[in-house]
Amino acid sequence: MRTTTRMPGVLGVLALLGLFLLPGAALAQELKLKVEVEVVLVSNKGDEVTPPELQKMKETFQRQNFSYTSFKRMSQQSIEVGSKEPTEVKLPNGVNASFLLLGMKDGSAKLRVTIPNQSAVEVQLGRQGAVYQRAGNHVGGDLVLVLNVPAK
C-alpha cells in the first residue's frame, strides 16, 4: 500500500508564514506617546508662584507635607516619547532627563525617567493627573518635573 503525503499549497505556506511573521512584525512597531513636560523650580526663597497655575501644585505639595514656599516654571514643552530610543529634555541645572516608554495599558502609560546622579524611576501616566518627579538641585532649590499626558 502506498501512502502519499500532500504538500501544502502556496496559500497554506503563506498562511503559516503569516502566523509566525505577524506577531514579530507587530512587536517591531514602536509605541509613541505625547507627554507634556514642565520643569518647575521649587524652593523656600520667598513665596512666589509663577505662573499662577502652579498654585494647584503648591497646594498638592502642602498636603503631602513638602514645605516649599516658592514655585517658578522654568520651561514647558511637549515631547514625543518612544519605546525604542529615549527622548531627552535639557534641564536648567545642565543635565538631561531622558524618557523611555515602557508600555501602555488600559489608558495609562509606563515611562522610565532617568536623571543623571539619581536612580532611574518608572512612573505611571494616565488620566489621574500630573506626576511629579524630582530632577536635582538648582540655585538653592529643587527642580521638579511635572509630567502629563495632554488631553485629546
Between the alpha carbon of residue 27 and those of residues 23, 88, 91, the distances in Å are: 6, 24, 32
- What the block records as the C-alpha cell of 22 is 505577524
Give the C-alpha separation, 94 to 138, whole Å: 9
Read off the DSSP letter of residue 63: H
Decide if 14 contacts 33 (C-beta within 8 A).
Answer: no
- What the block records as the C-alpha cell of 26 is 507587530
Q: Say what the pLDDT of residue 29 is.
A: 81
Q: Say what the pLDDT of residue 27 is.
A: 52
Give the C-alpha separation, 116 to 104, whole Å: 25
Q: Minimum mean pLDDT among 12-16, 66-70, 122-126: which range? A: 12-16
pLDDT in tens, 31-87: 999 999 999 999 999 999 999 999 999 999 999 999 899 999 999 999 999 999 999
pTM here is 0.79
Higher-pLDDT residue of 31 and 24 is: 31
